[in-house]
Amino acid sequence: MKNTLSSRGVFGSKRWKTLNVVVLLVASFLWGAPAADSNNLLASTENIRLPPKNSLISNVTFVVFDTETTGFSPKTDRLVELGAVKFRNGKVIESKTWLINPKRSIPSYVQKVHGITPEMVANSPTFKDVYPEFETFIEGCVLFAHNANFDVSFMRAEMARNGITPPRNLTIDSLKLFRNWYPDLKSYKLGDLAEYAQVTGGTFHRAEADSLYVFLIFDKELQKRNVKVKLDDIYTEANGPLRF
């Protein structure tokens, strides 16, 4: 639900509502995991069998993941949905979505964005129960997320609350990647990117569908290239991978 709310905040006046959203958006970027040099990161992740940076993209298994939340703050808000799409060499291997009980309310203005209601998650498992399945799903994969700072910061906060050791997988920020690929675009929202790339993948602002869109946009561009793209090329064009 990142970059989607309008001026509906929790303060009284319209001006404060707008300010609230802006502050939260800025905070979500500041709390995000910093990008780092891929050489240093790869040196610290050798024991989880990640593909070498000189691997051809066609030989790498990726997982795009996305989150839907109760708000913008990793400290006070919670996940309500986690979606992921696994792909390799232009083909989807598996996709999965988990509805998550946040154990707190979901503001009505947030429900209007992603459509996830309290009733939908009332009997869903908690993040602690869901995470082992996600960890298995991403084993040995390089991750993607659009505006990855947001998703990574929320995942990290949930892990910290539940005493979970963060995964050592590297995450590519598709927002940064697409900005470098398409420097002349005015907007890098998934809807605008999908329209530009002429791909369709379902309803926006749901975790699994948004993950699919990232894959489709990424794959569409790779199909245009007649060179053998390597993993390190993508790391570089995304300004370096992130970690949890």
H helices present in the chain, as ranges: 14-30, 38-43, 108-114, 118-121, 127-137, 148-161, 174-181, 190-197, 207-224, 231-237
Is 114 marked active-site? no
Q: Is the dihedral of CA 49, 45, 173, 132 positive or negative?
A: positive
Q: 153 with 74: CB under 8 angstroms?
A: yes
pLDDT in tens, 163-191: 999 999 999 999 999 999 999 999 999 99
Rounded to whole angstroms, the Cα distance separating 110 from 71 reads 7
pLDDT in tens, 82-133: 999 999 999 999 999 999 999 999 999 999 999 999 999 999 999 999 999 9
Q: What is the pLDDT of residue 50?
A: 83
> Which of 2, 78, 205, 206 is labelled catalytic?
205
Please report, rounded to a whole number, the percentage of residues in the chain having pLDDT higher than 90. 76
pLDDT at 227: 79
Q: What structural domains and CATH numbers belong to the chain?
A: 14-237 (3.30.420.10)
What is the residue-averaged pLDDT of the chain? 86
More confident residue, 233 or 6: 233
